[in-house]
């Protein structure tokens, strides 16, 4: 049951990313309102006044990408010394 709810939430977040809202603006479905409220409370999306629609937060984007990975996938984290994209970190004075 929880997995089905998570799937609905992920589907709703992908709609937010594509269209700016969980469903069409005139949709009056109670489930739509619940999904929208859950996503806002979990800081997965927020209203952007300048754009006039909902946008995903970093947490929401991470939630979508984590769901696409297969279970048990090992993700490698790089140490600061292993990074090649910038200058080395200096120690604080």
Q: Which domains does the chain have, with CATH numbers?
A: 2-82 (1.10.10.10)
Q: Give pTM, 2 decimals.
A: 0.61
Separation between Cα atoms, residue 64 and residue 68, nearest integer Å: 7
The residue assigned the tokens 């140490």 is: 79
Residue 82 dihedral angles phi and psi, to the nearest 5°? -80, -15
Give the three-state DSSP class for 47.
strand
Look at 8 and 2; give whichever has higher pLDDT: 8
Look at 90 and 8; give whichever has higher pLDDT: 8
Which is it for strands 45-48 and 53-56: parallel, antiparallel or unpaired? antiparallel
pLDDT, tens only, 44-84 = 999 999 988 889 999 888 888 876 666 666 667 777 665 55
pLDDT at 13: 86
pLDDT, tens only, 4-52 = 888 888 888 888 888 888 877 666 778 888 888 898 999 999 999 998 8
Give the three-state DSSP class for 46.
strand
């Amino acid at each position: 049951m929880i997995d089905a709810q998570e799937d609905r939430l992920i589907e709703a977040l992908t709609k937010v990313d594509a269209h700016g809202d969980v469903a069409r603006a005139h949709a009056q479905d109670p489930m739509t309102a619940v999904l929208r409220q859950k996503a806002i409370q979990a800081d997965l999306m927020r209203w952007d006044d300048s754009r006039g629609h909902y946008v995903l937060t970093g947490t929401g984007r991470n939630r979508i990408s984590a769901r696409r990975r297969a279970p048990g996938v090992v993700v490698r984290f790089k140490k600061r010394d292993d990074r090649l994209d910038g200058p080395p970190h200096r120690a604080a004075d």
